[in-house]
Amino acid sequence: MPNVTEWMMAIAIGIGLAAATGFRVFLPLLVAGAAAHWGALPLADGFQWLSSTPTLMALGTASIVEVTAYYIPGVDHLLDVLAAPTAMAAGIIATASVMVDVPPAIMWPVAIIVGGGTAAATKVTSAVVRAKSSLLTAGLANPIVSTAETLGSIVIAALAVVVPIASLIVLAVWLLVARRRRRRVLAKT
Short-list 127, 77, 118, CA closest to 95: 118
74, pLDDT greater than 90: no
pLDDT at residue 176, rounded to an integer: 79
**Residue pair 23/152 in contact by the 8 Å Cβ criterion:** yes
pLDDT above 70 (res 62): yes
What pLDDT score does 189 carry?
Answer: 61
pTM: 0.85
- Judged against a pLDDT cut of 80, whether residue 2 lies above it is answered with no
pLDDT at 153: 95
Q: Write out pLDDT tens, residues 111-158.
A: 999 999 999 999 998 888 888 888 888 888 889 989 999 999 999 999
Cβ atoms of 16 and 122 closer than 8 Å = no
